[in-house]
Amino acid sequence: MAPRDDYHYNETVLRHIADPRNIGVIEDADAEGSGTNPACGDEVTLYLKFEGEAVTDAKIRILGCGAITAAMSSLTDMVRGKTAEELGEITAEEIAESVGGLPTHKRHCATLARRVLQNALKSRSAS
């Protein structure tokens, strides 16, 4: 069911925007992925550190709107302890749900977050 207010951000999203988690760079990252949203100019980079098969650290850099900030911030928590294979299965819907849902006109930000994650995974298998 669509939320009653499909226009504003919920409290979880607002908390992420006020204090995004894991902002920064991992200098010796095992995987790095970027993505942009050309319509608005949003730019995101995700850094992942693996130990064995599992992610032990994730950091992000963001120049973007509230929704992409919240989605990426939440994603850095979601990826911890997961294997590359498990990461590959994370959907945009799951990312949006992890912040309690995004307004319909902001759902593409969850899609961008997923694409950035996929790009990071590709960079790891390439290296």
Partner 1 sequence: MNTIYMDHNATTPMRPEVLAAMHPYLGEKFGNPNSIHRYGRETRIAIENARDHAAALIGAAESDEIFFTSGGTESDNWALRGVISAASGKSRIVTTAIEHEAVLATCQALEAEGAEVTYVKPDRKGRVSAEDVAAAIRPDTRIVSVMWGNNEVGTVQPIHEIGAICREHGILFHTDAVQALGKVEVDVERAGVSLLSATGHKINAAKGAGFLYVKKGTKLDPFMTGGGQEQKLRSGTENVAGIVALGEACRIAKEEGPQSARNVAALRDRLENEICEHVPDVLINGDTDHRLPGTSNLGFIGAEGETLLIRLDLEGIAVSTGAACSSGSPEPSHVLLAMDLPQETVQGSLRFSLGYGNSDADIDRLLEVLPEAVSKVREMAPRLKSTKT
| C-beta separation of 110 from 98 below 8 A | no
Smallest CA-to-CA distance from 20 within 62, 79, 54, 52 is with 62
Examine residue 14 and tell whether it contacts partner 1 (CB under 8 A): yes
Distance, in Å, from the CA atom of 115 to the CA atom of 127, rounded to the nearest integer, reads 19
Number of H helices, E strands in the chain: 5, 3
Q: Is 77 in the site for partner 1 (CB under 8 A)?
A: no
Tell me, residue by residue from 81 to 100, as one string, x for binding to partner 1 by CB under 8 A and - for no binding: --------------------
Rule CB under 8 A: choose which of 10, 20, 94, 119 binds partner 1: 20
Instruction: Give me 98's structure tokens.
Output: 């992890």
Amino acid (one-letter) located at 30: D
Selected from 30, 82, 95, 106, the binder of partner 1 by CB under 8 A is 106
Smallest separation (angstroms) from partner 1 to the CB of 62:
5
What is the chain's Cα-based Rg?
14
Contact map string, positions 37 to 56, toward partner 1, x by CB under 8 A: x-xxxxxxx-----------
Single-letter code of the amino acid located at 39: A
Residue number with CB closer to partner 1 (7 or 56) = 7
122 touches partner 1 (CB under 8 A)? no
75 in Cβ contact with 93 (< 8 Å): no
Residues forming contacts to partner 1 in the complex (CB under 8 A) are 7, 9, 14, 17-18, 20, 23, 25, 32, 34, 37, 39-45, 61-66, 69, 103, 105-106, 108
